[in-house]
Amino acid sequence: MERLRLPAKLPSLTGFREFVDRAAVAAGAGPELLLRIELVLEELLVNHVLHAYGSGEGDSDVACFCRAPGYFCLEVVDEAAPFDPLGHAPPDLTLAAGDRPIGGLGIHMVRSLADEISYRREAGKNVITVCFLLAPAAKPD
């Protein structure tokens, strides 16, 4: 499993993206899926930058692996206080622009764009695993 650890700061996003792109392309991801994977990665990392460590500092840790042939997964890890992003209600998408709170969309997008997502607390770490089908099967009618 390939792994990269960098400070949980915005300038680290590019390094993480290049790392994940290389692994995803090697696994067989095409350009469209690559953008989806990048988007999910950004949402999870920005969450670390904005929320995980409060005003303190910490690292983000990202690992890439194929759980099965054609099934590419990312593990995104922080060492902050326990936080299960899947335990929060989705945002109200029916509000008009003026009534919309700014924010709360990131995890909703992750849930919508990844084929599988799970959270676990392990050895003082928050571990989010997201997986993508490299070649989605045709949807049955």
Partner 1 sequence: MELQNERRGASLVVRVSGRLDAVSTPAFEAHCQQALAQGERTLILDFGPLEYISSAGLRGVLTVAKSVDAAGGEFTLANARGLVREVLDISGFLRMFRLLDSLDTPAAQA
**Least distance in angstroms from the C-beta of 35 to partner 1:** 5
Q: CA 88 to CA 72: how far, in whole Å?
A: 25
**Least distance in angstroms from the C-beta of 124 to partner 1:** 26
**Least distance in angstroms from the C-beta of 122 to partner 1:** 26
Stated as kind and residue range, the H or E segment containing 5 is strand 2-7
Stated as kind and residue range, the H or E segment containing 22 is helix 12-27
> Nearer to partner 1 by C-beta: 67 or 92?
92
Q: CA 11 to CA 13: how far, in whole Å?
A: 5
**Least distance in angstroms from the C-beta of 6 to partner 1:** 14
> Nearer to partner 1 by C-beta: 2 or 92?
92
Q: CA 77 to CA 41: how far, in whole Å?
A: 11
User: CA 104: distance to chain centroid?
Assistant: 15
Q: Is 81 exposed, middle or buried (0-12, 13-18, 19+ CB in 10 A)?
A: exposed
> Nearer to partner 1 by C-beta: 86 or 121?
86
> Nearer to partner 1 by C-beta: 10 or 121?
10
The residue ranges that bind partner 1 (CB under 8 A) are 10-11, 13-14, 32, 35-36, 38-39, 42-43, 46, 49, 91, 93-98, 100, 102-103, 105-106, 108-109, 112-113
